[in-house]
């Protein structure tokens, strides 16, 4: 009950909304897949254009309430499914003219503030961090995995420089007591020599745990691959990222599917790939000054997009190999 109240009370601000709309051009009609429905900020805006249809997904079951309100208004043009976007290919889309697929990664403010989800370092009680449709929680990770495993998660998913000492102190603490959210914050605080940080001392560890618990690396990689496959000619794949790890993956994938490798004029000529995507703008789109003034938390948002050149289902990419070290760390979750 409490979670619902929190969700409803929080003002929602869809990030880079005008920019997303101008990139996907819904005024020409077609079907759009909103992979991260949240509170429906993007979906609602697309549906304002008459010839559009929206298929919306979200892993968080709480999104369903908002989705039902939209469904009442647009029963013919809106469809919602509680699904992880890596499973996009499970949707039956045979006759859909898919003109845009959008991702707004990360968490909504309502999720961060929801005490039941325990995503924030201000949360009380047991560690959780599950967004929805998960297999294990942060409680399992912190109280069950080995020292080196926790260290790798914090180092590679959170870029936490003190991963070694934090994981050592986690193991020491849990010999006597189960670690809850505020215990973890204390452990991190005591592990840090330099406490003069601009960001909260627990930010990086909590980010790492959220990414691991929600399998965000494989979600993103397979979400992108499957989107690239099902999009129709002239369709746009657009992604808003919030942290550098996500952005690194999206940037690599877009470059990988849209650019021929530069060939040295001294090397024998090799056949150039007939690529399916075009990247018309290499630099990401950032929030405007006005948006930053109105919504400070949009400051790290970056929008990147590519346009499909042809109707082909086969996509050539080595993104899985490129990020295999991160995918390997994610597999530690199979033990839980
Ligand atoms: C930043 S919010 C999106 C907000 C949305 N654009 C709006 O305007 O209301 C991100 C949403 O994506 C969802 N999400 C994150 N990862 C997901 C995944 N792998 N599959 C499906 N939904 C996911 C979260 O549950 C959350 O509701």
Which atom, in ligand 1's list, is nearest to the CA of 40?
A: 9
SS3 44: helix
Q: How far is the CA of 325 from the centre of ligand 1 (A)?
A: 25
SS3 36: coil
Q: What is the pLDDT of residues 214-257, one digit of tens each?
A: 999 999 999 999 999 999 999 999 999 999 999 999 999 999 99
Over residues 258-269, the mean pLDDT reads 64
List the end-to-end C-alpha distance of the chain, in Å, as a whole number: 29
Q: What is the pLDDT of residues 47-90, one digit of tens each?
A: 999 999 999 999 999 999 999 999 999 999 999 999 999 999 99
Pocket of ligand 1 (CB under 6 A): 12, 14, 36, 38-42, 57-60, 63, 84-85, 104, 106-108, 131, 219
Match 């979200």 to its residue by tokens. Answer: 58
Q: How do strand 236-241 and strand 52-57 relate by DSSP bridges?
A: unpaired
Which residue, among 202, 183, 182, has the nearest Cα to 192 in the 3D structure? 202
- pLDDT of the residue at 11: 73
What are the two backbone dihedrals, phi and then psi, of residue 161, each rounded to the nearest 5 degrees?
Answer: -70, -25
Using a pLDDT cut of 70, give the percent of the chain over it: 93
pTM exceeding the 0.85 threshold for the entire prediction: yes
Q: Which two tokens stand for residue 20?
A: 């997303």
- pLDDT of the residue at 334: 97
- pLDDT of the residue at 259: 78
Q: What is the pLDDT of residues 2-28, one digit of tens each?
A: 333 344 556 789 999 999 999 999 999
Count CA atoms closer than 13 A to 129's CA, side-chain side.
Answer: 26
pLDDT category of residue 313 using cuts at 50, 70 and 90: confident
> Rounded distance, CA 331 to CA 336, Å?
10
Candidates 13, 20, 35, 38: which one to mutate for ligand 1, based on the most atoms within 8 Å of Cβ?
38
Using CA positions, which residue lies closest to atom 27 of ligand 1? 38
Which atom, in ligand 1's list, is nearest to the CA of 17?
A: 8
Q: How far is CA 177 from CA 20, 145, 166, 171, 172, in A?
A: 47, 15, 16, 10, 9
Q: What is the pLDDT of residues 146-158, one digit of tens each?
A: 999 999 999 999 9
Tell me the DSSP string of 198-216: SS-TTHHHHHHHHHHHTTH
DSSP summary character for residue 238: E
Which residue, among 114, 242, 125, 99, has the nearest Cα to 182 in the 3D structure? 125
Count CA atoms closer than 13 A to 220's CA, side-chain side.
Answer: 31
Q: How do strand 277-278 and strand 52-57 relate by DSSP bridges?
A: unpaired
- ∠ CA 293-298-299 to the nearest 5 degrees? 80
> Rounded distance, CA 112 to CA 187, Å?
21
Q: How far is the CA of 197 from the centre of ligand 1 (A)?
A: 29
**Cβ neighbours of 265 (radius 10 Å):** 6
pLDDT category of residue 266 using cuts at 50, 70 and 90: low
Which atom, in ligand 1's list, is nearest to the CA of 131?
A: 25
Q: Which two tokens stand for residue 45?
A: 């805006």
Cβ 260 vs Cβ 236: under 8 Å: no
Q: How far is the CA of 185 from the centre of ligand 1 (A)?
A: 26
> Rounded distance, CA 313 to CA 115, Å?
42
Tell me the DSSP string of 279-309: -S--SPB---HHHHHH-GGGTT-EEEEEEE-
């Amino acid at each position: 009950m409490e979670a619902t109240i929190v969700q409803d009370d929080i003002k929602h601000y869809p990030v880079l909304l005008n920019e997303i709309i101008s990139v996907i051009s819904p005024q020409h009609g077609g079907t759009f897949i909103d992979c991260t429905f949240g509170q429906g900020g993007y979906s609602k805006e697309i549906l304002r254009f008459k010839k559009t249809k929206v298929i919306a997904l979200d892993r968080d079951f709480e999104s369903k309430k908002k989705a039902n309100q939209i469904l009442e208004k647009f029963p013919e043009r809106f469809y919602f499914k509680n699904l992880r976007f890596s499973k996009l290919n499970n949707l039956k889309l045979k006759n859909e003219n898919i003109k845009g697929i959008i991702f707004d990664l990360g968490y909504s403010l309502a999720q961060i503030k929801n005490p039941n989800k325990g995503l924030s370092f201000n949360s009380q009680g047991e560690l959780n961090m599950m967004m929805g449709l998960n297999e294990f929680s942060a409680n399992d990770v912190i109280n069950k995995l080995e020292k080196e495993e926790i260290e790798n998660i914090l180092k590679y998913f959170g870029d936490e420089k003190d991963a070694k000492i934090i994981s050592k102190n986690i193991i020491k603490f849990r010999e006597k007591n189960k670690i809850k959210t505020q215990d973890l914050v204390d452990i991190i605080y005591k592990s840090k020599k330099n406490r003069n940080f601009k960001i909260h001392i627990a930010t990086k560890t909590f980010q790492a745990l959220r990414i691991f618990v929600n399998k965000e690396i494989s979600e993103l990689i397979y979400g992108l691959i499957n989107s690239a496959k099902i999009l129709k000619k002239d369709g746009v794949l657009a992604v808003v990222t919030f942290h550098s790890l996500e952005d690194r993956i999206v940037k690599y994938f877009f470059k990988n599917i849209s650019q021929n490798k530069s060939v040295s004029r001294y090397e024998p000529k090799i056949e150039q790939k007939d690529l399916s995507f075009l990247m018309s703008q290499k630099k990401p789109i950032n929030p405007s000054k006005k948006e930053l003034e109105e919504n400070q938390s949009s400051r790290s948002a970056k929008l990147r997009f590519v346009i499909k050149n042809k109707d082909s289902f086969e996509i050539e990419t080595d993104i899985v190999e490129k990020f295999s070290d991160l995918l390997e760390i994610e597999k530690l979750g199979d033990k839980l």
